[in-house]
Structure 1
Amino acid sequence: MGEIRALRNMDDDEVFSFAKRIAAPYDLVMQAKQLGRLPVVNFAAGGVATPADAALMMQLGCDGVFVGSGIFRVATLRAGQGLSAKRLPTTPTRRSSQRSVPVWGAMVGINLNDTKVERFAARSE
């Protein structure tokens, strides 16, 4: 935390030198200076299932949410409803909470007991 406090007191030239010294992108270091903290990004591996879930993560303080392509699957939704995560709401709404209920079913996985599944790791069994 001491380095971020020192970063907040640096001028732009010092920030550039600091970013170069720690081998970090200048714009990321400038963002940390402006925020007074490191940006927090959530890499969601299945835990964020709908656009409303991503909006909730942003409301909880995440600066960004990386999601899989399954969040945009719109098999039974009307056109455009499932792609509403382009603009995440900054305040909770009834509409966004309704989107958190998946109406298209679970994402399809791989049945490892299936004999047709190709195994990539060699086993010594």
Structure 2
Amino acid sequence: MAEHVPPFNVAILAVPEVTASALYGMGDLFSSPGRDFRFITQGMAGDQRMRPYVVARDADRFRAANNVWVHPEHTLADCPRPDIVCIPDFFVNPGESVAGQYEPEARWLKRVHEEGALLASACSGAVLLG
């Protein structure tokens, strides 16, 4: 009998400038491993291998850069320990500095990375990794 492996916690970091398609697309993407292949091959969903959740500075819902509502599931303070953190792209003017704008997020990223989380980003989300 196969041993049960708990799903990986995947925190998807949201800031007000995030694009909802990238944010929620990552949620869909990370919900698929383990679940979809079994569904396609056997007609029933398998066990989800990843547990994605949206994390933000605070719990208040906000409108993303493209005017779609974002409802964070966790805050930086109460987030379950992530195994992986993904930073979606966000809409910022490439000619303007974002220095200091995301200090709480940067501190959180540094802390969870030091605790062992893998950090990844899409497109302009890499700004928070530098």
TM-score (norm 2): 0.22
The one of the two structures with greater contact order (alpha-carbon pairs below 8 A, sep at least 6) is 2
The structure that is helix-richer by fraction is 1
Higher Cα radius of gyration: 1
